[in-house]
């Protein structure tokens, strides 16, 4: 499912209106009617619609007209004098006025009626360009504190529809009705947290799609690229995934388990010393003075899980430089420290996937963790651009960014994944997919999806409270079954 920016949405609207000759008020009528239908589905009988100055407000006036038409008790509170409305929004107000929809100009402390069952946020949509202030801030705060559920039209007011940033007050909606496409800013956090459930409605917008649109990670797209295993295949067909084993061996073994369950032909553990933990006979263990040379024949390398202080001897060595320039793989956890170079950040190629959590991302960018969490999309895009690698920024609605600015957002996963070792499993899963031949962007996207679904399934069976990283590994197979739409992996 595509996720669009405000700018792309303006292009879609413009193309539909100018080239396809569909008047803007027709689109607005579809939008307002879809909102009214969503209100009716919620069985809300006493509804207040809060309208702003632009076309988002226009959608609100139209929704109010349809609600009145359907016999609902509806009232509009507007933050602007309707006499100052322009274009389609003015037309929408005229239609609502002719249908005798009641309204008043917002006065602080008066949301326009008692015993309201639902508030509709039609204050600002994709046109919101600055932090809320004045009357917009007042009404938004009042709506949020009213205790009444809020349905947002297109985008909750105060969210940047393109980036998900919230620079001040913003509507906390329980549901958002998105016009034509979900906006990128309601798919990623923090915007996603303010949007509640988002439903997309078709309002008749159509236009040729621009290249490289952002999307949710989509199994139907990735199914064509991964999973097929014909009868003549052998272990060499599915690649060797090498994993550095450092001081904290458990982390590397979890990564190995993730890699094996996701289908690498061979998982190789490269270590300088011996491995003291029990290792399943499924993996090959190789000892060498330089772990890089132990993994020389691997198609992908996972650097980081459990590396700890074993990293120091690796920093700046020729074998590590050689590995980054000639190999592909995953850099996670302590391995990310290898990316710091005297003149900034090391340049990699896009066969490498970096999997930082927000604090690691902040350390690499020289930002604070809070800044990364406020601007997750920008942070992921900047790190990808500066390193030349694919970046997977962990957290709810994990973001995967390419150096060229392509974005995917992972819809799977829940709190079951918030457990030590979960990130190590993810690194192994992605390393395995790279070893099997997927490019870094697809491997990171599919890896995030499978890992997230495995966490959901493990959490459903075992409760998120008691799910461990090993449980996530155990549920990878079932996640892969659901990836193939419940029909089982292809043979
Ligand atoms: N034909 C169409 O375009 C359709 C659009 N739909 C709906 O319309 C909105 C987008 O409408 P738009 O008018 O572009 O934008 P908004 O309604 O979100 O904002 C209107 C103006 O508000 C001002 N603004 C921006 N930020 C703030 C702020 N923080 N505080 C106060 N005011 C703000 C700004 O104007 P200025 O002149 O003040 O800069 C905006 O232009 C879209 O989301 C859909 O809901 C329909 O779906 C149908 C087709
Ligand atoms: K809105």
The domain 2-210: what is its CATH number? 3.40.50.10260
Task: Evaluate: CB of 157 within 6 angstroms of ligand 1.
Answer: no
- Name the closest-CA residue to atom 11, ligand 1: 55
Each residue's pLDDT expressed in tens, for the chain with a length of 491 residues: 999 999 999 999 999 999 999 999 999 999 999 999 999 999 998 999 999 999 999 999 999 999 999 999 999 999 999 999 999 999 999 999 999 999 999 999 988 777 999 999 999 999 999 999 999 999 999 999 999 999 999 999 999 999 999 999 999 999 999 999 999 999 999 999 999 999 999 999 999 999 889 999 999 999 988 887 877 777 677 899 999 988 889 999 999 999 999 999 999 999 888 888 888 888 888 988 876 788 989 999 999 998 877 776 777 677 788 889 989 999 999 999 989 877 789 999 999 999 999 999 999 999 999 999 999 999 999 999 999 999 999 999 999 999 999 999 999 999 999 999 999 999 999 999 999 999 999 999 999 999 999 999 999 999 999 999 999 999 999 999 999 985 444 43
The domain 219-485: what is its CATH number? 3.40.1190.20
**Nearest atom (ligand 1) to Cα of 126:** 43
- Say if residue 394 carries a ligand binding annotation: yes
- Using left for φ > 0, alpha for ψ between -120 and 50, and beta otherwise, residue 478 falls in alpha
* Contact predicate 50/123, CB 8 Å: yes
Q: Do 2-210 and 219-485 come out as alike in CATH topology?
A: no
- Using left for φ > 0, alpha for ψ between -120 and 50, and beta otherwise, residue 410 falls in beta
Q: How far is the CA of 405 from the centre of ligand 1 (A)?
A: 26
Give me the half-sphere count of Cα atoms (radius 13 Å) on the Cβ side of residue 378: 14
- Say if residue 59 carries a ligand binding annotation: yes
Nearest bound ligand to the CA of residue 150: 2
Closest CA relative to residue 191, chosen from 5, 360, 415: 5
> Crossing angle for the helix pair 440-462 and 476-483, nearest 10 degrees?
110
Domain limits, the chain:
2-210, 219-485
Structure tokens at 77: 């509170």
Q: How far is the CA of 438 from the centre of ligand 2 (A)?
A: 39
- Say if residue 130 carries a ligand binding annotation: yes
* Contact predicate 181/125, CB 8 Å: no
ipTM score of complex: 0.98
Structure tokens at 128: 């919101």
Task: Evaluate: CB of 59 within 6 angstroms of ligand 1.
Answer: yes
Q: How far is the CA of 50 from the centre of ligand 2 (A)?
A: 9
The CA distances from residue 25 to 54, 89, 203, 206, 382, in Å, are 13, 8, 11, 15, 39
Task: Evaluate: CB of 130 within 6 angstroms of ligand 1.
Answer: yes
Task: Evaluate: CB of 13 within 6 angstroms of ligand 1.
Answer: yes
- Say if residue 378 carries a ligand binding annotation: no
Distance CA 454, CA 456 (A): 5
């Amino acid at each position: 499912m595509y996720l669009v920016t405000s700018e792309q949405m303006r292009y879609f609207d413009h193309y539909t209106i100018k080239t396809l000759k569909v008047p803007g008020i027709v689109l607005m009528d579809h939008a307002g009617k879809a909102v009214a239908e969503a209100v009716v589905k919620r069985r809300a009988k006493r509804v207040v619609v809060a309208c702003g100055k632009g076309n988002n407000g226009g959608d609100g006036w139209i929704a109010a007209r349809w609600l009145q038409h359907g016999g609902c008790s509806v009232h509009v509170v507007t933050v602007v004098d309707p006499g100052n409305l322009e274009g389609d929004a003015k037309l929408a107000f005229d239609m609502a006025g002719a249908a005798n929809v009641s309204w008043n100009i917002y006065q602080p402390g008066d949301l326009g009626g008692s015993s309201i069952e639902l508030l509709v946020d039609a204050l600002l949509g994709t046109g919101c360009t600055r932090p809320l202030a004045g009357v917009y801030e007042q009404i938004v705060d009042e709506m949020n504190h009213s205790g009444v559920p809020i349905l947002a039209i297109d985008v909750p007011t105060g969210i940047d529809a393109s980036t998900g940033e919230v620079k001040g007050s913003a509507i906390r909606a329980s549901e958002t009705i998105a016009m034509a496409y979900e906006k990128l800013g309601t798919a990623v956090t923090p915007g996603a947290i303010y949007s509640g459930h988002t439903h997309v409605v078709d309002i008749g917008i159509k236009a040729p799609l621009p290249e490289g649109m952002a999307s949710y990670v989509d199994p139907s797209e990735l199914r064509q690229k991964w999973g097929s295993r014909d009868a003549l295949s052998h272990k060499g067909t599915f690649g060797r995934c090498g994993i550095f084993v450092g001081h904290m061996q458990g982390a590397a073994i979890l990564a190995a388990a993730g890699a094996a369950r996701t289908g690498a032909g061979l998982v190789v553990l490269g270590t300088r010393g011996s491995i003291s933990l029990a290792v399943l006979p499924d993996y090959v263990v190789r000892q060498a003075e330089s772990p890089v040379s132990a993994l020389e024949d691997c198609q992908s390398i996972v650097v980081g899980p459990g590396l700890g202080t074993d990293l120091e001897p690796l920093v700046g060595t020729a074998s590590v430089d050689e590995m980054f320039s000639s190999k592909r793989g995953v850099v996670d956890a302590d391995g990310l420290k290898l990316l710091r170079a005297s003149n900034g950040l090391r340049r990699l190629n896009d066969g490498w996937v970096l999997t930082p959590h927000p604090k690691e991302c902040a350390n690499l960018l020289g930002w604070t963790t809070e800044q990364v969490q406020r601007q997750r999309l920008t942070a992921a895009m900047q790190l990808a651009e500066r390193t030349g690698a694919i970046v997977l920024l962990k957290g709810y609605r994990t973001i995967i960014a390419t150096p060229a600015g392509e974005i995917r957002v992972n819809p799977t996963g829940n709190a079951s994944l918030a457990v030590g070792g979960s990130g190590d499993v993810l690194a192994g899963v992605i390393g395995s997919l790279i070893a099997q031949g997927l490019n870094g962007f697809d491997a990171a996207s599919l890896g995030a999806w499978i890992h997230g679904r495995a966490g959901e399934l493990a959490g459903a069976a075992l409760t998120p409270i008691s799910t461990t990283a090993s449980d996530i590994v155990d549920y990878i197979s079932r996640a892969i079954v659901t990836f193939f739409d419940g029909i089982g992996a292809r043979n």
